[in-house]
Amino acid sequence: MAVGAGAAITLPYIIPSSALGKDGAVAPSNRVVMGLIGSGSMGTGDMHEFMGKPDVQMVAACDVDKQHRESAKAAMDAKYGNSDARIYSDYREFLAQEKIDAVILALPDQWHGIIAVAAANAKLDIYGQKPLARTIWEGKKIIEAVEKNNVIWQTGSWQRSEAHFHRACELVINGRIGKVSFVEVGLPDGSPTYSAHPVQPVPEGLDWDMWLGPAPSAPYRGVCHWDWRWILDYSGGQLTDWAGHHIDIAHWGLGLDRTGPIEIDARGVYPRDGIFDVPVEYSIHAKYANGIEMHYANARQVPHGMGVCWYGDKGWIHVDRGERLFASDPKILEEKIGDNEIKLYRSLNHTQNLIDCIRSREETITPCQVAHRSISAALLGEISMLTGRKIKWNPDTQEIIDDPMASRLLRRPFRTPWKLEGN
């Protein structure tokens, strides 16, 4: 482990015994040393999750908001009983100076591609929040960088590490409901729209231009640390925010998590005023090469609401958060998976799975190649909604067929001077 990186940490004059590996604590030379880029709500939660592991040490944070990065430093310093945590406002300085093993990336979606590629090129293992990227082109570039640099990547699609989701998928993929022909995926309803977001002064300590990054220039309107999700320049709304959860699970249960649909037909209802412009309602019909059809939509448009429901010729299974697992016949859920049947990857703790894989150099339960396919299904739906027509897709070449206008939406232009490293 970079615990060469650990050696670079400035130790306090009074060193807690836990920092020296005493009192049963893991010695510094055996810890995975990590940093954080993006210390808002998601990043802060991830930081605390990793700090709770005895074999991990968080040493640095980067955020364009001074309040956020100082809060992250205070949490790290409190955890380790020192004042050593380092903070940065620019991810480039962070990557150039920090000698660490791995990094958490928890950023607005427009930044995912650029910073993920830079972190992979710095040869850091990565815990990347979903969605993988804002566009399909960026997702492909992340995969290229991860594979080129032999990086271990874990996506924050943590449902795969929950027992009832794993159970549902194993039952489906092993034929307990027969041959599946149709799947319904219920995602959150769109956020309500608000029209009053006047231009206002940028808060002290926030680098707004850096926050925008590759997105188009825009005045500050107070829509920053959470509500950016409802603006297309930064996100695709609830559809893309949740694709890495429920669409990912739908794919997993079908063995389709490294491919994609061949046809997508979608319709959305968009706000009529205000600055929020992601769909408040959306309905996407996707067809796969094996004949399976999938409908993913905001929850009010599907019978079972939130979650995933697979329909086979012998019954159905529905799964959602809160350990909700149901079937057309409850006896289906009691069936055992035999020794010679398909056993899906098992992870008992999503963040620990990354740490274990950093040590073993084995693939995580949700590598970027898998995350790319779940968000691609949603992004193709977005393209279909924006163009108002059916999209034909080649999941092998990852190209839209015979539609140059729609193909242009596979990527978004970056504002000068931003670009992906190597492109």
Q: What is the pLDDT of residue 195?
A: 67
- 184 closest CA partner among 262, 297, 269, 264: 297
Give the pLDDT score at 415.
Answer: 98
Residue 262, domain extent: 160-343+368-410
pLDDT in tens, 187-245: 999 876 766 789 999 999 999 999 999 999 999 998 888 899 999 999 999 999 999 99
What pLDDT was estimated at residue 198? 92
The verdict on residue 255 lying in a domain is yes
- 131 falls within a domain: yes
Domain annotation covers residue 361: no
Residue type present at position 347: S
pLDDT score, position 3: 39
Return mean pLDDT, the chain: 93
Is the pLDDT confidence value at 16 over 50? Answer: no
390 lies in a domain? Answer: yes
The CA dihedral of 204, 210, 216, 218, to the nearest 10 degrees, is 10
The reported pLDDT for the residue numbered 215 is 98
Same structural domain, 22 and 167: no
Across 103-131, average pLDDT: 98
Residue 415 belongs to a domain: no
Q: Are residues 335 and 197 part of one domain?
A: yes
CATH of the domain at 77: 3.40.50.720
238-265 burial, b if ≥16 CB within 10 A, otherwise e? bbbbbbbbbbbbbbbbbebbebbbbbbb
Question: Are residues 42 and 141 both part of a single domain?
Answer: yes
Tell me how far apart the 2 most distant CA atoms of the chain are, in Å: 68
What is the amino acid identity at position 197? H
Q: Do the domain assignments include residue 422?
A: no
Number of domains within the chain:
2
Name the domain boundary from 139, 158, 177: 158
Q: Taking a C-beta distance cutoff of 8 angstroms, is the pair 287, 176 a contact? A: no
State whether 71 and 165 are in the same domain.
no
Angle at the Cα of 293 (from 160 to 409), degrees rounded to 5? 80
Same domain as 186, residue 50? no
Mean pLDDT, to the nearest integer, of 16-29?
A: 59
Residues 187, 265, single domain; the answer is yes
Answer yes or no: is pLDDT of 21 > 80.
no
